[in-house]
Amino acid sequence: MQKPYALFIGKLLIADRFGENSFQPNDLRLLDRTHLEQYYFSINLSEQWKQKLVNNPNDQIASRTQTDSSSGISNKFEVQRDQSMMNTSSNNAAIYNKWKPYVSRMELELYKKGRHGSDTISIVPFPRHVAELGVLQECGLKHRFKGRIYLGYGHKSESFPTFTVENLALSEGNWYYCVKVPFGKLVQIGWATHGFTPNSSEGNGIGDDAYSWCFDGSRGTLYNNGEFVFLPPNVRWKINDVSGCGIEIKGENTRINYWLNGQFLVKCNLLPNGPNTTFFPGVTVQSYMDEEDLCEFEDRLRNCCEFIISPEDMTECPLPDGYKPLLMPQLSHNSDSFVAYPYSAYLIGDNAQEFIYTPRNAPSTKIIFKLYLISMIIKFN
């Protein structure tokens, strides 16, 4: 329906959907994707409303007409929103750059494409003996998990321990995570692939061999296999800064991108070891404490970093466009009642996100008559 009279036809078809005191849109573009989803969400509550009115005919809504002062739109009933359904709607996707905390089954399968291994995120020392598990602490505001690595009084670790995400391998797509540096000290963050073998006693962590790449904001340097690239002097992280680390896995064109506090820094191209290369995230943290320094008051010897894997917690370094976070969205409990959004069924313009209208539920004699008039108009034009 790309003809000049498309909007006119659409208005005729939906005219019966509105009461005489209700708002009638002058432009079908007002019926966008969010309105469509909310319309389908409300279907689940319709039977409850009917039953309530049957059982309590005198228990009517106190105000039959609620006016929105900002737009002048009148509604007969207050809109009731189910929060779990709202989590699945497009509003969350807009806030978190197309990522939603709750998704349908089909969306979940699409998200998993290129992601292999465990669905949960578990940070572990690599290899296991380089640090006690007690160095891992809970962090995160919206999503709580043991992603804080604290090297200080109370727990032992080697001098340059590496930590990775257990049982996770990424084979295609764009993936992203962040790391916060509360003390602004030496932390190497990046990605590794099969063959990565850190050696804490020799000072080799992520980025120090041929199978890993990293960024260290304390020194403003990119590392890989003994080679390094210095970034401009102003690229140094400070206390509580957040660095983003993304990877775009596209075969021989795979590359890593880095951000600092939401500002894009640099990209580096990789040379994958084979067509079936998989990657996983990792960090290496400098420990400043020796056995004789294990004192509760030696604050200057502490070091720490925090993984950020949920877009809801990526406030300082947001999820970039086209990337997926490491955190898996959850399957919505309302996925069976959530109606998939069919673009082709509602498209009347070039932009599928804006040009949406709601079709009628059932034919009527008025609509048939209107369609007859429309056909005559088209015939003689």
| Predicted confidence (pLDDT) per residue in 106-135, tens digit | 999 999 999 999 999 999 999 999 999 999
Residue 338: the pLDDT is 45
Question: What angle do the packed helices 365-379 and 6-14 form, to 10 degrees?
Answer: 170
- Position with higher pLDDT, 302 vs 222: 222
Q: Do 191 and 300 reside in the same domain of the chain?
A: yes
Q: Mean pLDDT in the chain?
A: 76
Query: pLDDT band at residue 155, thresholds of 50, 70 and 90?
Result: confident
Q: Do 166 and 276 reside in the same domain of the chain?
A: yes
3-state secondary structure of 232: coil
CATH of the domain at 305: 2.60.120.920
Q: Is residue 240 part of a domain?
A: yes
Query: pLDDT band at residue 359, thresholds of 50, 70 and 90?
Result: low
Amino acid at 298: E
- Position with higher pLDDT, 94 vs 302: 302
- Residues of the domain holding 8: 1-19+27-54+347-381
Lowest mean pLDDT among 126-130, 277-281, 295-299, 315-319: 295-299
Q: Is residue 73 part of a domain?
A: no
The residue assigned the tokens 């709601």 is 358
Lowest mean pLDDT among 1-5, 94-98, 159-163, 272-276: 1-5
Residue 212: the pLDDT is 94
Return the closest-CA partner of residue 190 out of 240, 262, 260, 258: 258
* Distance (Å, whole) CA 247 – CA 256: 4
Residue 63: the pLDDT is 38
How many angstroms separate the Cα of 368 from the Cα of each of 37, 89, 90, 362, 365? 27, 34, 34, 11, 5
Over the stretch 196-213, which tens digit does the pLDDT of each residue have?
Answer: 999 999 999 999 999 999
Q: How many contiguous H segments (helices) and E segments (strands) does the chain have?
A: 7, 21
Q: Do 138 and 37 reside in the same domain of the chain?
A: no
What is the C-alpha end-to-end distance of the chain, expressed in Å? 16
| pLDDT above 90: residue 11 | no
Lowest mean pLDDT among 19-33, 89-103, 324-338: 19-33
- Residue range 215-223: mean pLDDT, rounded: 95
Q: Do 376 and 252 reside in the same domain of the chain?
A: no
Residue 5: the pLDDT is 52
Residue 123: the pLDDT is 98
Q: What is the total count of domains within the chain?
A: 2
Query: pLDDT band at residue 96, thresholds of 50, 70 and 90?
Result: confident
Q: Do 192 and 144 reside in the same domain of the chain?
A: yes
| pLDDT above 80: residue 187 | yes
| pLDDT above 60: residue 279 | yes
User: Residue 49: how many CB atoms within 10 A of its CB?
Assistant: 13
- Answer whether 327's CB lies under 8 Å from 310's CB: yes
* Distance (Å, whole) CA 74 – CA 330: 36
Residue 98: the pLDDT is 78
Q: Is residue 104 part of a domain?
A: no
How many angstroms separate the Cα of 372 from the Cα of each of 1, 9, 358, 366? 17, 11, 20, 10
Q: Do 297 and 197 reside in the same domain of the chain?
A: yes
Pairing of strands 221-224, 227-230: antiparallel
Q: Do 38 and 157 reside in the same domain of the chain?
A: no
Range of 47-51, 320-324, 353-357 with top mean pLDDT: 320-324
Two structure tokens written together for 185: 């000290």
User: pLDDT over 90 for what percent of the chain?
Assistant: 46
Q: Do 244 and 365 reside in the same domain of the chain?
A: no
| pLDDT above 60: residue 337 | no
Q: Do 326 and 355 reside in the same domain of the chain?
A: no
Secondary structure letter of residue 130 according to DSSP: G
Two structure tokens written together for 143: 């999503």
Query: pLDDT band at residue 75, thresholds of 50, 70 and 90?
Result: very low
Q: Do 281 and 206 reside in the same domain of the chain?
A: yes
Residue 152: the pLDDT is 83
- Residue range 231-260: mean pLDDT, rounded: 93
Over the stretch 137-151, which tens digit does the pLDDT of each residue have?
Answer: 999 999 999 999 999
Range of 127-136, 250-259, 338-347 with top mean pLDDT: 127-136
Q: Do 270 and 324 reside in the same domain of the chain?
A: yes
Q: Do 360 and 315 reside in the same domain of the chain?
A: no
Q: Is residue 70 part of a domain?
A: no
Q: Is residue 141 part of a domain?
A: yes
| pLDDT above 80: residue 381 | no
Q: Is residue 42 part of a domain?
A: yes
- Answer whether 175's CB lies under 8 Å from 113's CB: no
Q: Is residue 43 part of a domain?
A: yes
